[in-house]
């Protein structure tokens, strides 16, 4: 029966035998390699050499040397490289960079140094410092756990030029005079906070802000194109300070090593991003601008259309007519209001049809309302009734009609608010003619009164009557062609109806108030902006 110790000894023996077999299969090469000399171990797979184990190389001029290990033709573990004074230590895992990375120039870290860390080929962090030949220095870091990374360029320990990268996006720079403490340039550090917040806003709203669209432009390294010799790296100041560090981490080997020296190293594609620049998306911005302009044109069209509709309403006509007077004195403005309302009475209203009173103590009169000033069309008018209550007693043989003297706007329709009620005698011994009105005048603003005619005291066809300012009643009869004039008397409680055959009273519509309406049309109402007045946005 095997004990545990016996099993351990057997396992060690098997491993030693296996290793011996493997070692027995490896061959060692020492000789010319990539314009220099190399020593390495390998195994053969047909005609191919599979690097396995240690590798060392020195160029013929002694300027390049490297050493490290291969596992199955892939670089693995720590590799040390010296190239023209640039000393690197790179950790690999199966050909990909994994672990710590550092580079320095010569043996003096005050000239150049890079310290970084990779995980399976991905850069986790980086710290960089370099002094140029003319005394300038560049330093900075990449840290994905920090939102903002700062790269600085300092000249003669006086001016400090900082570049700010927020979440991998270049957002701006600052210039600081170390001798005076003054900030020059366009931005200060506190501005970078605002720009960072702006970047977050853009990201949140799909890179659109205030009608403009933006996009991230990939900024690739152009630094290697500026180099003619490796040592030029100390005299070239790049546009983006992180270009030098990224150049050494990503491009240094590919640009200056032969393919043989890159063997076993996972190729790093030269499409890495130094940073992103935020630029205007001209295509989207143009399209958005055109969309806004189209909407604005449509809005203006609808606005003009609605204004036109509004100005065709009675209220719109009133506002438009009064606007030129709203900046004048209160007296001029009030006179303009009264003049306009009188003009609407001319255009829109007729007296009522005559009514024979008989024994009635109240009647309903019907006023004619013209539409859009089209008097000649049958459908251009409508009628609205008003009740005339408390007709004076003693007028049984009289007829009556009402003449509007004031109107108000209700729901965009003019409504009679005040009128003169005319009573004329129709019985034996009185005015025996039945008159029909071709026209009627009251204070020079009421025209076009047309009356119906029947046996109950309506005015005779082809007759004309009118009332003057002093309430004189006049009629011109075309048959038998004579003129009749008589004064009108105001009915009072003491009127006995003996002195005249024509009387009048003043009537107010109890449903509406002329004074309230006039007070509602204020200068402020008339001067409202288009947006307020027409309810446009």
Q: Among 86-90, 146-150, 459-463, where is mean pLDDT lowest?
A: 459-463
pLDDT of residue 181: 87
Residue 340 parent element (H or E)? helix 330-348
* pLDDT greater at residue 70 or residue 494: 70
pLDDT at 390 over 70: yes
Tokens found for residue 150: 């700062």
Q: How many CB atoms lie within 10 A of CB 370?
A: 19
460 or 355, greater pLDDT:
355
The reported pLDDT for the residue numbered 80 is: 97
- Pairwise pLDDT comparison (493 vs 433), residue with the higher score: 493
**Mean pLDDT for the stretch of residues 65-71:** 97
Which residues have CB under 8 Å from 222's CB, separation 6+? 238, 239, 243
**Burial class of residue 234 in the structure, from the number of CB atoms within 10 Å of its CB (0-12 exposed, 13-18 middle, 19+ buried):** middle
Distance CA 474, CA 482 (A): 11
For tokens 């870290």, the residue is 109
Average pLDDT over residues 282-288: 90
Does residue 109 register a pLDDT over 80? no
Indicate the helix (H) or strand (E) that contains 44: strand 36-45
Confidence of residue 46 (pLDDT cuts 50, 70, 90): confident
pLDDT in tens, 154-204: 876 788 999 999 999 999 999 999 888 899 888 999 999 999 999 999 999
- Answer yes or no: is pLDDT of 372 > 80: no
51 phi/psi in degrees, rounded to 5: -65, 135
Please give the full DSSP string across 48-107, using - where no structure is assigned.
EEEEEEEEEEEETTSSEEEEEEEETTEEEEEEEEEETTEEEEEEEETTEEEEEEEEEETT
DSSP one-letter code for 249: I
**What residues have CB less than 8 Å from 447, skipping those under 6 apart?**
346, 439, 440, 441
- What was the pLDDT predicted at 441? 30
* pLDDT value, residue 379: 59
pLDDT for residue 499? 56
pLDDT at 54: 97
Query: CB under 8 Å to 511, separation ≥6 — which residues?
Result: 415
Query: What is the per-residue pLDDT for 268?
Result: 67
pLDDT at residue 352, as a whole number: 75
Put simply, whether the predicted model's pTM sits higher than 0.85 gets the answer no
For 128-136, what is the mean pLDDT? 85
Inter-residue contact 225 to 239 (CB < 8 Å)? no
Residue 13 has a pLDDT of 52
Q: Examine residue 480 and say whether the peptide bond preceding it is cis (omega within 30 degrees of 0).
A: yes
Predicted confidence at residue 368, as pLDDT, reads 73
**Is 537 a residue whose pLDDT tops 60?**
no
Specify the higher pLDDT residue, 260 or 499.
260
pLDDT in tens, 11-20: 555 444 444 4
- The answer to whether residues 99 and 91 touch, using CB atoms and an 8 Å cutoff, is yes
Banded pLDDT at 429 (limits 50, 70, 90): very low
pLDDT, mean over the chain: 80
- What pLDDT score does 308 carry? 84
Task: Give me the pLDDT at residue 343, please.
Answer: 79
pLDDT in tens, 299-317: 889 888 888 888 888 888 8
| Confidence tier at 377 by pLDDT (50, 70, 90) | low
Q: Average the pLDDT over each of 199-208, 280-289, 391-400 and give the range with the smallest value.
A: 391-400
Please state the φ and ψ torsions of residue 208, each to the nearest 5 degrees.
-130, 135
Which has more confidence, 92 or 351?
Answer: 92
Q: Round to whole Å and give the CA distance between 137 and 293.
A: 51
């Amino acid at each position: 029966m095997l004990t545990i110790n016996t099993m351990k000894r057997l396992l060690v023996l098997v491993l030693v035998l296996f290793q011996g077999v493997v070692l027995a299969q490896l061959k060692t090469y020492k000789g010319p390699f990539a314009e220099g000399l190399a020593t390495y171990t390998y195994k053969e797979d047909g005609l191919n050499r599979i690097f396995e184990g240690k590798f060392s190389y020195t160029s013929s001029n002694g300027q390049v040397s490297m050493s490290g290990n291969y596992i199955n033709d892939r670089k693995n573990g720590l590799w040390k490289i010296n190239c023209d004074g640039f000393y690197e230590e790179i950790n690999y895992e199966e050909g990909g960079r994994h672990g710590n990375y550092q580079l320095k120039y010569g043996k003096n870290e005050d000239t150049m140094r890079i310290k970084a860390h990779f995980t399976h080929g991905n850069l986790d962090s980086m710290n960089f410092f370099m002094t140029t030949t003319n005394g300038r220095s560049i330093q900075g870091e990449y840290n994905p756990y920090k939102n903002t990374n700062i790269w600085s360029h300092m000249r003669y320990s006086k001016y400090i030029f900082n570049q700010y990268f927020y979440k991998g996006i270049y957002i701006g720079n600052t210039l600081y005079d170390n001798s005076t403490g003054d900030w020059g340039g366009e931005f200060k550090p506190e501005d970078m906070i605002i720009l960072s917040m702006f970047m977050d806003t853009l990201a949140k709203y799909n890179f659109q802000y205030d009608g403009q669209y933006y996009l991230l432009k990939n900024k690739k390294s152009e630094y290697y194109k500026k180099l003619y010799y490796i040592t030029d790296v100390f005299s070239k100041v790049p546009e983006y300070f992180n270009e030098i560090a990224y150049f050494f981490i990503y491009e240094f080997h590919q640009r200056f090593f032969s393919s043989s020296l890159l063997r076993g190293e996972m190729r790093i594609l030269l499409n890495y991003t130094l940073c992103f620049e935020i630029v205007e998306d001209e295509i989207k911005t143009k399209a958005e601008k055109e969309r806004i302009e189209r909407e604005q044109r449509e809005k203006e069209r609808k606005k003009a259309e609605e204004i036109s509709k509004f100005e065709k309403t009675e209220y719109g006509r009133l506002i438009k007519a009064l606007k030129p007077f709203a900046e004048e004195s209160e007296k001029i403005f009030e006179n303009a209001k009264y003049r306009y309302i009188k003009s609407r009475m001319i255009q829109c209203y007729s007296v009522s049809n005559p009514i024979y009173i008989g024994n009635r103590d109240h009647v309903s009169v019907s006023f004619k309302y013209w539409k859009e000033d089209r008097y000649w069309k049958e459908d251009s008018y409508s009628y609205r009734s008003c009740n005339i209550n408390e007709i004076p007693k003693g007028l049984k043989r009289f007829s009556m009609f009402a003449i509007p003297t004031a109107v108000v706007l209700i729901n965009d329709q003019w409504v009679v608010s005040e009128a003169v009620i005319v009573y004329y005698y129709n019985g034996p011994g009185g005015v025996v003619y039945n008159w029909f009105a071709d026209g009627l005048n009251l204070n020079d603003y009421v025209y076009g009164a047309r009356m119906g005619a029947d046996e109950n005291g309506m005015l005779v066809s082809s007759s004309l009557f009118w009332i003057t300012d002093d309430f004189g009643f006049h009629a011109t009869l075309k048959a038998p062609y004579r003129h009749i004039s008589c004064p009108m008397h105001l009915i009072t409680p003491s009127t006995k109806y003996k002195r005249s055959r024509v009387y009048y009273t003043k009537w107010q519509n109890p449903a509406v108030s002329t004074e309230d309406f006039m007070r509602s049309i204020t200068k402020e109402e008339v001067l409202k902006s288009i947006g307020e007045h027409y309810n446009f946005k």
